[in-house]
Amino acid sequence: MITRELAVALRDAGLAWNPAEGDRFQLDLPDEVELEAEAEVFTVSEMTIEARQTPSGTDLAFNGTTEWALDAVTLADAVWLPREDQLRELLRGTFRALVRLDDTFRVDAEISGVPASFEHPDPSEAYGRALLELISRTR
């Protein structure tokens, strides 16, 4: 799983999220709200947390079956933690290869016609770094 810091950087760079079943996220509430739940990882699921379209946008509705009950939060109050397969898909045609090295993984991509490599012990983090570079170069 990617780090919260990388997830926030992807969001701030412009990565859009349309919540779907199985997506993971953390809360990102205003500084004046102090909750231990911000560090907890939640999963979108019809039974516990579902994405609901409202006139003001998308809300993540907590259905009361979770330990930490909350009515709903807006999408702006959540940080999406995309999975490895989602990150690879978002790289689209720029992705070239995932290579396992001795103690790390390397994602090879071609961004704006230039070969680039991103290494990390967690393949999700390597994919995320490649995606961040892709978004940054195409903005």
The SS3 call for residue 64 is coil
Segment 26-53 mean pLDDT: 75
Output the CA torsion 101→92→20→81 (10° steps): 40
Does 33 score more than 70 pLDDT? no
Please say whether the beta carbons of 103 and 123 come within 8 A. Answer: no
The β-bridge relationship of strands 49-54 and 78-80 is unpaired
pLDDT tens digits along 59-95 = 888 776 555 556 778 888 899 999 999 999 999 999 9
Average pLDDT over residues 32-40: 60
pLDDT at 92: 94
Q: Decide: residue 45, CB within 10 A, 0-12 exposed, 13-18 middle, 19+ buried.
A: middle
The candidate with the shortest Cα–Cα distance to 130, out of 108, 104, 102, is: 108
Residue in 21, 32, 26, 24 with CA at minimum distance from that of residue 5 = 26
Report percent pLDDT > 70 for the chain: 88
Question: What pTM did the predictor assign?
Answer: 0.85
For residue 66, report the phi and psi dihedrals to the nearest 5 degrees: -90, 155
Coil vs helix vs strand at 1: coil
Q: For 101-129, give the DSSP string.
A: -SS-EEEEEEETTEEEEEEESSHHHHHHH
